[in-house]
Structure 1
Amino acid sequence: MIGLFLGDTDFPEIVLKKIKKLKKKYFIIDFSKNNKFKKDKNSYRISIGQFGKIIKLIKKKKSNKVLFAGKIARPNLKSLRLDLKGIYYMPSVIKASKIGDAAIIKSIINILFNEEIKVISSIHFNPELSLKKGIYTKTKSNKNENNSIKKAINYFNKINNLDHVQALVVKDEKIIAIEGKQGTKNMLSRLKKNSKGILIKLPKNKQDLRMDLPTVGLQTIKDIKKYGLKGLVLKSKKNIFLNKDEVIRFADKNNIFIKVI
């Protein structure tokens, strides 16, 4: 029995579909904003502050493994419902919330570890969603662009593993945009049109790779075209790549390179 902590975006639905295809027994703790899994008979809606209830459910289901998939929004601490374990554990979550979304999930993972519950990779059942090293498009990066990519890698290697930054744009060996808490799309919207930069989406140095992997899909590549970027760079086996065939076709049609390092 696998416990699924599911949030927003399309990724959780893809994970759930694969779990069903594999005929794995599962239950869902629905952390999405609008209770999107409420029609599933195995779904439960539990406040993130009710750790006692969450842990009791996991143990009742005789599950010692869970995975996180999708975006879990930062809880509204003022209206959060707490049980006894929630009161005990909540200070660590509140502290983490001041750092960023990744830190919140990391704090929950630590709480589950304390309760002898193992968290596995979000792509454990969907390894096909993560691209391996290589060039996936007809268009390739040139020498100047490769030097810019190296500049971006050096930056990622220096930032805190709980920082919210998972993406930046680099051009002519200069970083021209860095992702904020609002995400990649918001960062790109601040660029000038036809910026000719490169979007780099990498996991942070020492990031917990069981969750919060850099995710791209069709909308990402459309935004790359919209803001005149030349390419996309990801880290091998440390990404979630949705709608692969459709994305690559779009990239080829618009002379955009996709490189996995």
Structure 2
Amino acid sequence: MIDLTKKNLFKNYKNSYFVSIGKFAKILEIISKNKCKKVLFAGKIEKPKITNLRLDTMGIYYIPRLIKAFKLGDAAILKELINILAEHKIKVVKSNFFNPELTPKRGIYTKIKPSEKDLVQIKSGIKSLKKLNAYNHTQAIIVDQNGFIQKETSQGTKKMIESINNKKDNHRILIKFPKKKQDLRADLPTIGLDTLKDCKTARLKGIVLKENQNIFLDQKKSISFANKNKIFIYVL
């Protein structure tokens, strides 16, 4: 495990290495030493400021490419990291490679189903989502009956949902899809029980996901919670 967190969260785990994201030579050395030919991205990596990166010589070599990717957005950064690993004969596998059951298939997962009006609202929201910067951090939007859209910022989905908690409209729907040009081997948009609880607090009517392109954690508990609170979960 190569721990890229800021606080060394996995220090008590065996075979965990706490490394700065700018230490490319060190990261590649660890992968080589452990005879790894494949890597898997797990969890969220906070985007660092370029000026704060602690770079080794290999990091300095790759920094022009990373700066170019930074200007495009989060998806471009991940894609560039995957390309760099590939140049060193290291293959990146999908984040759900070992647990494909976490990736939902097409269908309605709850007793509550989206109405005809909801489907029109969802179609409008997806159209708006596709118009956003193909590489940026936005993986989710909230859309209401009037077409108003709340976009996810770099602070994430939870903060976006919390920002509308005080609004009275209870016809809002969360749509959470991968970015248009996202490499699906990394950073798949994720929901779970905490997301459903946030949706209840914000009085959201439903959640819409993309078939085979989302991670759905705590599925049994989440679906049960959604049914009790009349929230639909719809996978397109």
Same fold (TM over 0.5): yes
The question of 1:259 aligning with 2:219 is answered no
- Alpha-carbon distance in structure 2 between the residues aligned to 1:67 and 1:49: 18
How does the TM-score come out when normalised to structure 1? 0.84
Greater relative contact order (Cα < 8 A, sep 6+): 2
Are 1:245 and 2:220 matched, yes or no?
yes
Q: Give the CA deviation at 1:77.
A: 3.3
TM-score under structure 2 normalisation?
A: 0.93
Aligned position for 1:8:
none
**1: distance between equivalents of 2:50 and 2:154?**
18
Post-superposition CA distance 1:15-64 (Å, at most 9, x none): xxxxxxxxxxxxx1001222121112211111111111111221222222
Alignment of 1:77 with 2:32, yes or no, is: no
- What residue number does 1:203 align with? 178
Letter in 2 for 1:112: L
- The 5 Å alignment of 1:16-95 reads 28-95=1-68
Matched, 1:181 2:154: yes
Q: Distance in 2 between matches of 1:239 and 1:60?
A: 33
* 1:75-129 deviation line (CA, Å, top 9, x unaligned): 2433432211111012222333344433332221121122221111011001111
- Tell me the matched-pair count: 234
1:173 Cα deviation from its structure 2 partner: 5.7
Identical counterparts, % of pairs: 53
Moved more, 249-258 or 28-37: 28-37
* Superposed CA offset, 1:149-202 (max 9, x none): 111222233333311111011122614211111111221222243332000001
Return closer, same or farther for 1:173/1:65 CA change in 2, 3 Å cut-off.
farther
Please say if residues 193 and 226 of structure 1, whose CA atoms lie closer than 8 Å, have aligned partners that are also in contact: no
Structure 2 vs 1, CA of residues 72 and 107 (structure 1 numbering), >3 Å: closer, same or farther? same
| Aligned mates of 1:83, 1:221 — CA distance in 2 | 42
In structure 1, runs of 5+ residues without a counterpart are 1-27
Letter in 2 for 1:201: K
Q: Select between 193-202 and 209-218 the one with higher mean Cα deviation.
A: 193-202
Kept in 2: contact 1:166–1:203 (CA 8 A): yes
- Is the CA contact (8 Å cut-off) linking 1:166 and 1:214 kept in structure 2? yes
Structure 2 counterpart of 1:72, one-letter code = I
Q: Does residue 145 of the first structure (1) align with residue 118 of the second (2)?
A: yes
CA contact (8 A) 1:168 1:175 kept: no
Check conservation: 2:76, 2:182, Cα contact below 8 A: no
| Range with greater deviation from structure 2 (136-145 or 87-96) | 87-96
Structure 2 distance, partners of 1:92, 1:175, is 37
Equivalents in 1 of 2:17, 2:116: separation in Å? 52
CA contact (8 A) 1:215 1:241 kept: yes
- The Cα of 1:133 is off from its aligned counterpart by 0.6
2-structure distance, mates of 1:78, 1:129: 37
RMSD: 1.6
Which residue is 2:145 aligned to? 172
Following the alignment from structure 2 to structure 1, what is the Cα–Cα distance between the partners of residues 152 and 52?
Answer: 29
- Between the aligned partners of 1:201 and 1:49, the Cα distance in structure 2 is 30
| Partner in structure 2 of residue 97 of structure 1 | 70
Say which is worse superposed, 155-164 or 39-48, in terms of deviation.
Answer: 155-164
Name the CA distance, whole Å, in 1 between partners of 2:105 and 2:37: 30
